[in-house]
Amino acid sequence: MKPFTYERVSTPAEAAAAVVRTPDARFIAGGTNLLDLMKLQIETPAHLVDVNGLALDRIEDTPDGGVRVGALVRNTDLAAHPRIRRDYGVLSRALVAGASGQLRNKATTAGNLLQRTRCPYFYDTNQPCNKRRPGSGCGAIGGFSRPLAVIGGSGACIATHPSDMAVAMRLLDATVETVDAAGRRRAIPIADFHRLPGTTPHIETALAPGELITAVTLPRPIGGAHIYRKVRDRASYAFALVSVAAVIQRDGSGHVALGGVAPRPWRIEAAEAALPRGAAPVAARLMEGAAPTADNRFKLPLVERTLAAVIAQARAA
Amino acid sequence: MDDLSPLSISRRGVLIGTVAATAIGAGPWAETKATSRRAQPTLMKVRLTVNGERRDLELDTRTTLLDALREHLRLTGTKKGCDHGQCGACTVIVDGRRINSCLTLAVMHEGAGITTIEGLGTPDRLHPMQAAFVKHDGYQCGYCTPGQICSAVAVLDEISTGIPSHVTPDLSMPPQPTNAEMRERMSGNICRCGAYSNIAEAMAEVAGAGA
């Protein structure tokens, strides 16, 4: 790791101000992704602002019947919370499908949203990567692309977003709350939070420099069968090849979002009208315009089959 | 250590000479402030309670909790495997929760209570999980074992406090200490010798005794 200075802060605005004030500064919370990247010198911050002392670790009911999840709530605690298990089961299921027990004990709600891709070319500093070194090219296009995006990528980047939690958040229409150094607050719909790579794959979210996530809110629960089905190379502790988050109602209507296929949680609301007619028309609409490589073309039929399994599971519930 | 070895002294001399030459060489160049600040390691004080004992340290901010335990406190029971949070050999229990000590900085744990394998039991007074690992042959080479045991102790605690896992059948019911639950929850601890089935048996015995 490169040397860095370190400070603790006690309010969100103070945290944002500290990051804006110091060149090459980063927030650190759980640190499970950032420190891994710092050891590999993919991330080389000169200053770390430790936000763990902020009082952002609560899960509260909101006046409109939803729930507000503090940015520092650990993945374990979010998955285990009685309200989340009862009303937002797909979120609990997505969380426990991700990482390991040790990592979930450290990883935070905000950090999970902000985690970086596990594209092997992003991780290998000897390889070109437009996300890690803008303008250097993309080693994945024409290289080993089996785990990478089949849709939403660009000629500059085909990395996938690695989160399971974010897929469930996208399905549930979550809102990301932030504060900046001037104390200004923003509420960003999760659909607008993660950016597609286009020609600037190093810009991954809608956050401005120094803007700090304070909470994620979920709207009032929508009932239905909550399912998160993840297909991966190992039965546990592996990233998704394809995952499906779904809430399906008794009449067959519902919502679906995909993980493992795109640079952000992948949801096309217009596809959901076809859910009562089965997996094929939904998958076709979700994957319209897909540009798979020879290595990851298998994800297209896998999306349809995983979706079919989810619909069957919902009918049996 | 082997400070009396002529080889060691001469190597150290060479190293000191190299550092001095670098420092002199660097002096005349007008480095930017940012560059020189970045090159300097930052030391910070941190207070930890490790296995019930208060420990005051002054560490390079880069020091992971794992390196603080092993290299500064000489608690070498906790092992460094991959150093990237993938293998679980570095698992310790911090304020009641198991974590990968390689993926966290020591300075982030001011005031925290840390339990390592040395704090769970001693050769004369084994923790029940240590005794069960011995009885069920839950290891071969033993390198991953301290992490496995710290993880296993925390897993049973997680099950008893109702934290769900990927294989928990019903989110509205408390999870049970079944073989499937043990295996899923232990997936962050890799054992290249493949002692998994015996580890699950050791855990089942301890879970059964506690039930």
Judge whether B109 lies within some domain: yes
Is the same domain home to B106 and B128?
Answer: no
**DSSP SS3 for A285:** helix
How many CB atoms within 10 Å of residue A246? 27
**DSSP SS3 for B209:** helix
Q: Looking at chain B from residue 24 to 53, which residues have their Cβ under 8 Å from any Cβ of chain A? A: 34, 37-42, 44
The pLDDT value recorded for residue A317 is: 83
Residue reference for tokens 């426990």: A96
What is the pLDDT confidence band of residue B97, given thresholds at 50, 70 and 90? Answer: very high
Q: Is B109 in the A-facing interface, judged by CB distances under 8 Å?
A: no
Is the same domain home to B140 and B98?
Answer: no
The pLDDT value recorded for residue B134 is: 98
CATH of the domain at B180: 1.10.150.120
What is the pLDDT confidence band of residue B1, given thresholds at 50, 70 and 90? Answer: very low
- What is the distance in angstroms between the Cα of A108 and the nearest Cα belonging to chain B? 13
Is the same domain home to B107 and B169?
Answer: no
Q: Quick check: B108 and A28 CB within 8 A?
A: yes
DSSP 8-class letter at A145: -
Q: Quick check: B166 and A236 CB within 8 A?
A: yes
Judge whether B153 lies within some domain: yes
The tally of domains found in chain B comes to 2
What is the pLDDT confidence band of residue B21, given thresholds at 50, 70 and 90? Answer: very low
What is the pLDDT confidence band of residue B3, given thresholds at 50, 70 and 90? Answer: very low
Chain B environment of A2 (Cβ under 8 Å): 38
Of B62, B59, B79, the C-alpha closest to B70 is B79
Q: Alpha-carbon distance A259 to A263, whole Å?
A: 9
- What is the distance in angstroms between the Cα of A1 and the nearest Cα belonging to chain B? 7
Q: Alpha-carbon distance A85 to A94, whole Å?
A: 11
Is the same domain home to B49 and B68?
Answer: yes
Chain A environment of B168 (Cβ under 8 Å): 96
Q: Alpha-carbon distance A70 to A214, whole Å?
A: 6
Chain A environment of B104 (Cβ under 8 Å): 31-32, 35, 106
Last residue of a domain, one of B96, B119, B142: B119
Judge whether B173 lies within some domain: yes
Judge whether B8 lies within some domain: no
Last residue of a domain, one of B119, B140, B170: B119
Is the same domain home to B100 and B146?
Answer: no
Judge whether B22 lies within some domain: no
Q: Which residue of B has its CA nearest to A97?
A: B166
**Average pLDDT over every residue of B43-72:** 98
Judge whether B209 lies within some domain: yes
What is the pLDDT confidence band of residue B38, given thresholds at 50, 70 and 90? Answer: low
- What is the distance in angstroms between the Cα of A77 and the nearest Cα belonging to chain B? 8
The pLDDT value recorded for residue B128 is: 98
The pLDDT value recorded for residue B6 is: 41
The pLDDT value recorded for residue B33 is: 46
CB A273 within 8 Å of CB A282:
no
Is the same domain home to B95 and B135?
Answer: no
Is the same domain home to B96 and B172?
Answer: no
- What is the distance in angstroms between the Cα of B110 and the nearest Cα belonging to chain A? 11
The amino acid sitting at A15 is A
Q: Which residue of B has its CA nearest to A47?
A: B38
Of A135, A118, A128, the C-alpha closest to A263 is A118
Number of cross-chain residue pairs from A and B with Cβ atoms under 8 Å apart: 120
Judge whether B206 lies within some domain: yes
Q: Alpha-carbon distance A184 to A154, whole Å?
A: 33
**Which domain range does residue B135 map to?**
123-211
What is the pLDDT confidence band of residue B39, given thresholds at 50, 70 and 90? Answer: low
Chain A environment of B164 (Cβ under 8 Å): 79-80, 85, 92, 96
**Average pLDDT over every residue of B133-156:** 98
> Among B42, B164, B183, whose Cβ lies nearest the Cβ of A80?
B164
Report whether pLDDT(B9) > 60: no
Q: Alpha-carbon distance A110 to A34, whole Å?
A: 13
Q: Quick check: A4 and B61 CB within 8 A?
A: yes
Q: Is A86 in the B-facing interface, judged by CB distances under 8 Å?
A: yes
**Average pLDDT over every residue of B61-68:** 98
Is the same domain home to B114 and B146?
Answer: no
Last residue of a domain, one of B119, B135, B152: B119
Is the same domain home to B109 and B187?
Answer: no
CATH of the domain at B75: 3.10.20.30
Stretches where chain A sits below pLDDT 70 are none
Lowest mean pLDDT among A3-12, B23-32, B125-134: B23-32
Q: Quick check: A35 and B37 CB within 8 A?
A: no
Mean pLDDT, chain B, integer: 87
Is the same domain home to B102 and B182?
Answer: no
**Average pLDDT over every residue of B33-55:** 83
Judge whether B35 lies within some domain: no
Q: Is A96 in the B-facing interface, judged by CB distances under 8 Å?
A: yes
Model pLDDT for residues B155-199, shown as the tens digit of each residue: 999 999 999 999 999 999 999 999 999 999 999 999 999 999 999
- pTM of the complete model: 0.92
Is the same domain home to B60 and B127?
Answer: no
Is the same domain home to B130 and B206?
Answer: yes
What is the pLDDT confidence band of residue B5, given thresholds at 50, 70 and 90? Answer: very low
